[in-house]
């Protein structure tokens, strides 16, 4: 219960589709989605496999609460070996695709091999078919979504699609569902492209069964009340979205600016939530039209925006004149502060392009930023960029880069490599602000010390969603800690990592944890799923998942040397703001973290730890 | 409007040597409590030397229950000290209601 108990296995090399029962013994140990699909992956692939080769697999996985009445119960994840990182990848998305997959009767789809020609998959309840994608290969996410729905005469389908970026194997390409929600990070779109798989379209007409219906309704109703009454999830997030952080993080002196050269951006207000909600000077309209919720969500933090049609970036480009997914904080930072661009309309346009072509806006923006620094230093020139004047602060250059990268045209082909490969090519790998090849998100770890440890130890490369200690260090949730101190951060990071791994395996959104703890989540899981699910057991399960991912990475060739930060963050002090004079204290935190994890000084889980966690 | 700040007594004593100038930044829903004519969610205000964080915010009618995240020059000020920490010339005080993101 909660689970459907069935998975689809699609072999694209052979063109076969099989069904099989879900391993319930594994479900008890790994719950679902991130944890359970990672278990399948690590059992089935060689950790050293080429992520873009046919032997890599990718799993579209739901959690047991996906598709249920639980608030935010619409999540799914794509689990694979990441094209950008060569590490374990798990990219999580909202929208409606995950719930629809459950309604069709499936917990997950395992995709194997490589199709000899472009194809897409349809899953309509029990019926699963592989179709020729020749007519949509080369088309955008938006056009492909429309074409598939027309082709199958079903506007109710929910579709996960790669854009041209995934087809061209841009190393940070993503998978977009419902037009503007995305499994965004680590290059899962490139893996899908390498398999010649353009899309998975799903339509389901069944419900999701739970263990104890009455108890489940009671538990979910009480949990929704907590979200509603909490000032953050009940009012702050729906009204201002994640973008409200722009001024917060800037004021706190942790806003990565111009490829992390600075920690505060003078144009932050121009690209903030407050600016999105203020009428533009150009046409008197607001950038932000409304908020939007994913399936079953009672928070509704999503942004829907519309660009001024006269803005230079979209003149004569009617595909961007409609309302679509607007800026979230991570995109606004990466495309804006980190490139020095304070043009809100240009950032929104580039965000639209990322959705249209299937690019992760964090890694794209951070790669452009790194290229801007190379340009600033004279290591690349207009000759390299194909004539683009790639100065920090140039909205025109940013827009041009966005239009070239997904299509892998001109300098866009180099930008598609990601910042580490690009900077290495031009002799300055230290200018790539990344860990394990994946670019940082929107928090400078000189101003938020715990995030340095978070990034360095994240199993999927630099990521804020593996342990969002910003919540404690800046926002005071669940309790305030000092962002400039390293004391206590190893334990804080470990706790966030383990709890988040459990939430990511449930089908729920991690944003609920601004109001919920595992004490709110466990009763919902327990009422839906066979077995006993206490908060303590969920923490243990999260720790098990974290260690399983770590073991995979170690076997893939990663060592303690990869738990590191770029030299800039540990040797160049912040120039201004509260963190002025500080670097990140990773060296102080890492040994204690390994010890708390039960790992050796070399970052390897001990046999005792693995045994304790049933690994 | 109800949330609009009344003129502070301190706003009229700019020339008094016992006054200082600070920057008040009110974000998200608190922007409504900034003085008229502000831009970019911030205003320069004059206050008597010795004014505390709470006194400044009281003077602008910022509801106490909405003072969730209070940063003085970027440093968090917990509720317990807001009634005693005195503002200095050139300080920047930034305040948010409960917000989050990611």
Which pLDDT does position B102 carry in this prediction? 82
Q: Which residues of A, range 3-42, sit inside 8 Å of B by Cβ?
A: none
Write out the two tokens for B88.
């200095």
Q: Which domain holds residue B82?
A: 18-96
The predicted complex's ipTM stands at 0.94
Distance (Å, whole) CA A427 – CA B48: 56
CA-nearest residue to A240 within chain B is B28
- For range A248-270, the mean pLDDT: 98
CA distance A363 to B87: 41
Note the pLDDT of residue A573.
98
Among candidates A242, A251, A274 on the partner chain, residue whose Cβ is nearest the Cβ of B101:
A242
**CA torsion sign, B27 to B28 to B32 to B36?**
positive
Domain contains B24: yes
Does B3 map to a domain?
no
CA distances for A277 relative to A12, A273, A383, angstroms: 46, 6, 40
DSSP state of A479: S
The runs of H, that is alpha helices, within A393-534 are 395-405, 411-415, 419-425, 449-457, 470-473, 489-503, 518-528
Residues of A in contact with B71 (CB under 8 A): 251-252
A177 to A44, A69, A80, A168, A356: CA distances (angstroms): 26, 21, 17, 19, 11
SS (H, E, C) A321-344: CCCEECCCHHHHHHHHHCCCCCCH
A contact residues 368-407, partner B, Cβ 8 Å cutoff: none
Res B1 pLDDT > 70: no
Residue A555 phi, psi (nearest 5): -70, -25
Given B74, B94, B99, which is nearest A244 (Cβ)? B99
Nearest CA distance, A245 vs chain B (angstrom): 6
Q: Is the residue at B102 inside a domain?
A: no
| Contact (CB<8Å) B28/A269 | no
In chain B, which residue's Cα lies nearest the Cα of A271? B40
CB burial readout A107-142, b (16+ within 10 A) else e: bbbbbbbbbeebbbbbbbeeebebbebeebbbbbbb
- Residue B2 pLDDT more than 90? no
| Three-state secondary structure call for residue A462 | coil
Question: How buried is A428 (Cβ within 10 angstroms: 0-12 exposed, 13-18 middle, 19+ buried)?
Answer: middle
H and E: helices and strands count for chain B: 1, 5
Q: Given this model, what pLDDT does residue B101 score?
A: 85
Contact across the interface for B28 and A243, Cβ inside 8 Å = no
pLDDT at residue A588 tops 50:
yes
Question: Which among A232, A330, A471 has the least Cβ separation from residue B98?
Answer: A232
How many CB contacts within 8 angstroms connect chain A with chain B?
Answer: 93
pLDDT tens across A92-145, in order?
999 999 999 999 999 999 999 999 999 999 999 999 999 999 999 999 999 999
Residue with tokens 């800037």: A250
What is the DSSP secondary structure assignment for residue B94, as one 8-state letter? E
Q: Are A311 and A282 in contact (CB under 8 A)?
A: yes
Return the residue in A232, A233, A248 with the most chain B beta carbons within 10 A, the one to mutate for interface testing. A248
Taking contacts as CB-CB distances below 8 angstroms, the residues of chain A near B29 are: 239
Flag whether residue A232 sits within 8 Å of chain B, measured between CB atoms.
Answer: yes
A300 at interface of B, judged by CB pairs closer than 8 A: no
> Could B41 and A269 be called an inter-chain contact, meaning their C-beta atoms sit closer than 8 Å?
yes
Task: Assess if residue B80 is contained within a domain.
Answer: yes
Specify the length of chain A in residues.
615
Residue A478, preceding peptide bond in cis (omega within 30° of 0): yes
What local confidence, expressed as pLDDT, does residue B15 receive?
58
> What whole-number distance in Å separates Cα of residue A503 and Cα of residue A522?
10
Contact A578 B41 (CB under 8 A): no
CB atoms within 10 A of CB A387: 11
Structurally, how many domains does chain B consist of? 1
Alpha carbon B32 to chain centroid, angstroms: 12
Task: Give the pairing of strands A6-11 and A108-112.
Answer: parallel
Residues pairing with A199 in the sheet: A120, A161
Q: What percent of chain A has pLDDT over 90?
A: 100
Average pLDDT over residues A388-402: 98
Cβ within 8 Å, pair A480-B76: yes
The verdict on B95 touching A (C-beta cutoff 8 Å) is: no
Contacts of B94 in chain A (CB under 8 A): 247, 251
Is residue B42 included in any domain, yes or no?
yes
Dihedral sign (CA A206, A208, A212, A217) = negative
- Segment B73-90, tens digit of pLDDT: 999 999 999 999 999 999
Q: Which residues of A touch B99 (CB under 8 A)?
A: 232, 236-237, 240, 244-245, 248, 475
Q: Average of pLDDT values for A59-71?
A: 98
Sheet holding B75-76, edge to edge: B42-48, B19-26, B92-96, B69-72, B75-76
CB contact under 8 A, B101 and A510: no
B37 and A CB contact within 8 Å: no
Partner-chain contact A232 B99, CB within 8 Å:
yes
Contact A298, A309 (CB under 8 A): no
- pLDDT in the model for residue A1: 84
pLDDT at A604 over 80: yes
Q: Flag whether B9 is in a domain.
A: no
Q: Indicate whether B26 belongs to any domain.
A: yes
Cβ of B102 and A242 within 8 Å?
Answer: yes
Give A380-391 pLDDT, tens digit per residue: 999 999 999 999
Task: Find the radius of gyration of the CA atoms of chain A.
Answer: 22
In this complex, is the C-beta atom of B25 within 8 Å of any C-beta atom belonging to chain A?
yes
Query: Is the pTM of the predicted complex or chain greater than 0.90?
Result: yes
Determine, for residues A252 and B68 on separate chains, whether the beta-carbon distance falls below 8 Å. Answer: no
Helix, strand, coil % over all residues of chain A, rounded to 5:
40, 15, 45
3-state SS, residue A346: helix
The radius of gyration of chain B's CA atoms, rounded to the nearest angstrom, is 13
List helix spans (H) across A23-154: 24-30, 33-44, 97-103, 141-151
Closest CA to A63 of A73, A71, A53, A72: A73
Q: Is A367 on the interface with B (CB under 8 A)?
A: no
What is the pLDDT at residue B37? Answer: 84
Q: Which of A94, A244, A344 to mutate to test the interface with B (most CBs of B within 10 A)?
A: A244
B6 DSSP assignment: P
CB contact under 8 A, B100 and A239: no
Residues of chain A above pLDDT 70, percent: 100
Q: DSSP 3-state assignment of A120?
A: strand
Find chain A residues with C-beta within 8 A of B78's C-beta: 480
Task: Tell me the torsion sign for CA atoms A559, A361, A506, A198.
Answer: negative
CA distance B62 to A548: 49
CB contact A115 to B (< 8 Å): no
By CA distance, what is A230's nearest residue in B?
Answer: B98
What's the gap in Å between the CA of B50 and the closest CA on chain A? 23
pLDDT of residue B3: 41
CB spacing of A475 vs B94 below 8 angstroms: no
Question: B28 at the A interface (CB within 8 A)?
Answer: yes
The closest of A507, A545, A513, A544 to A525, measured between CA atoms, is A507
Using the Cβ of B94 and the Cβ atoms of chain A, whether some distance falls under 8 Å is answered with yes
Alpha-helical (H) ranges within A484-575 are 489-503, 518-528, 535-556, 567-571
Say whether A231 and B68 touch across the interface (CB within 8 A): yes
Burial of A410 (0-12, 13-18, 19+ CB in 10 A): middle
> What are the residues whose beta carbons fall under 8 Å from the beta carbon of A291, sequence distance 6 or more?
A238, A239, A241, A300, A301, A302, A303, A304
Residue B2 touches partner A, C-beta closer than 8 Å = no
C-alpha A468 chain-centroid distance: 13
Residue A111 is classified by DSSP as E
Cα–Cα distance, A419 to A280 (Å, whole number): 33
Instruction: Check residue A152 and give its pLDDT.
Output: 98
pLDDT of residue A592 exceeding 70: yes
Report the CATH number that the domain containing residue B88 is assigned in CATH: 3.10.20.30
Q: Does B3 touch chain A (CB under 8 A)?
A: no
Q: Residue A511: list chain B partners with CB under 8 A.
A: 100, 102
8 Å CB contact of A247 and B98: no
Cβ pair B28:A273 closer than 8 A: yes
**3-state SS assignment for residue A78:** strand
- Domain-located, residue B4: no
Mutate to test the interface with B, among A228, A234, A236 (most CBs of B within 10 A): A236
pLDDT grade, residue A46 (50/70/90)? Answer: very high
Please state, rounded to an integer, the average pLDDT across all residues of chain A: 98
Contact A281, B102 (CB under 8 A): no
């Amino acid at each position: 219960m909660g689970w459907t108990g069935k998975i689809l296995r699609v072999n694209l090399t052979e063109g076969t589709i099989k069904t099989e029962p879900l391993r319930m013994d594994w479900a008890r140990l790994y719950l679902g989605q991130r944890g359970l699909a990672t278990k399948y992956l690590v059992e089935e692939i060689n950790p050293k496999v080429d992520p873009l080769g046919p032997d890599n697999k990718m799993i579209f996985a739901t959690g047991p609460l996906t598709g249920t009445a639980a608030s935010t119960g619409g999540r799914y994840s794509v689990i694979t070996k990441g094209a950008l990182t060569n590490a374990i990848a798990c990219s999580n998305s909202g929208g409606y695709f995950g719930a629809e997959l459950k309604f069709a009767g499936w917990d997950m789809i395992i995709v194997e091999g490589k199709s000899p020609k472009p194809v897409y998959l349809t899953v309509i309840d029990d019926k699963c078919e592989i179709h020729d994608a020749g007519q949509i290969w080369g088309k955008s996410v938006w056009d492909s979504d429309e074409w598939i729905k027309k082709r199958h005469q079903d506007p109710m389908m929910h579709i996960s699609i790669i854009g041209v970026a995934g087809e061209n194997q841009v190393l940070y390409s993503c998978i977009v569902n419902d037009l503007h929600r995305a499994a965004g990070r680590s290059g899962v779109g490139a893996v899908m492209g390498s398999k010649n798989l353009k899309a998975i379209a799903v339509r389901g007409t069944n419900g999701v069964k739970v263990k104890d219906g009455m108890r489940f309704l009671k538990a979910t109703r009480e949990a929704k009340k907590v979200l509603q009454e909490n000032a953050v999830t009940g009012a702050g997030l729906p009204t201002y979205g994640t973008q409200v952080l722009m001024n917060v993080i800037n004021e706190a002196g942790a806003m990565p600016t111009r490829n992390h050269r600075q920690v505060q951006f003078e144009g932050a207000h121009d690209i903030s939530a407050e600016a999105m909600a203020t009428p533009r000077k150009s046409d008197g309209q607001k950038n932000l039209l409304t908020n939007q919720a994913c399936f079953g969500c009672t928070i509704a933090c999503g942004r829907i925006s519309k660009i001024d049609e006269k803005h230079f970036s979209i003149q004569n480009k009617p595909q961007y004149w409609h309302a679509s997914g607007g800026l979230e904080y991570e995109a606004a930072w990466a495309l804006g502060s980190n490139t020095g661009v304070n043009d809100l309309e240009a950032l929104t346009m580039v965000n639209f392009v990322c959705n249209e072509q299937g690019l992760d806006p964090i890694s794209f923006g951070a790669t452009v930023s790194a290229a801007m620094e190379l340009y600033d230093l004279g290591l690349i020139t207009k000759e390299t960029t194909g004539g683009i004047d790639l100065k920090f602060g140039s909205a025109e250059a940013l827009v041009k880069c966005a239009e070239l990268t997904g299509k892998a045209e001109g300098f866009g082909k180099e930008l598609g490599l990601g910042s580490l490969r690009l900077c290495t090519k031009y002799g300055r790998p230290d200018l790539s602000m990344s860990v394990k090849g994946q670019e940082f998100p929107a928090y400078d770890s000189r101003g938020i010390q715990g995030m340095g440890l978070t990034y360095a130890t994240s199993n999927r490369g630099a990521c804020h969603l593996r342990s969002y200690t910003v919540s404690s260090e800046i926002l005071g949730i669940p309790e305030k800690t000092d962002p400039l101190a390293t004391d206590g951060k190893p334990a804080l990071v470990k706790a966030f990592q383990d709890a988040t791994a459990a939430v990511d395996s449930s089908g729920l959104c991690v944003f609920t944890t601004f109001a919920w703890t595992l004490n709110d989540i466990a009763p919902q899981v327990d009422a839906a799923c066979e077995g006993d699910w206490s908060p303590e057991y969920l923490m243990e399960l999260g720790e098990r998942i974290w260690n399983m991912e770590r073991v995979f990475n170690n076997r893939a060739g990663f060592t303690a040397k990869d738990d590191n930060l770029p030299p800039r963050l540990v040797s160049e002090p912040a120039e201004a703001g509260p963190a002025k004079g500080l670097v990140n204290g990773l060296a102080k935190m890492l040994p204690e973290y390994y010890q708390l994890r039960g790992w050796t000084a070399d970052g390897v889980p001990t046999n005792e730890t693995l045994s304790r966690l049933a690994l | 409007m109800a949330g609009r700040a009344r003129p502070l007594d301190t706003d009229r004593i700019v020339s008094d040597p016992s006054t200082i100038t600070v920057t008040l930044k009110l974000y998200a829903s608190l922007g409504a409590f900034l003085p008229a004519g502000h831009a970019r969610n911030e205003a320069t205000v004059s206050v008597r030397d010795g004014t505390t964080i709470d006194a400044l915010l009281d003077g602008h009618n910022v509801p106490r229950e909405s003072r969730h995240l209070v940063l003085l020059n970027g440093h968090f000020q917990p509720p317990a000290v807001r009634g005693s920490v005195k503002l200095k010339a050139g300080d920047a005080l930034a305040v948010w209601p409960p917000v989050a993101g990611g």
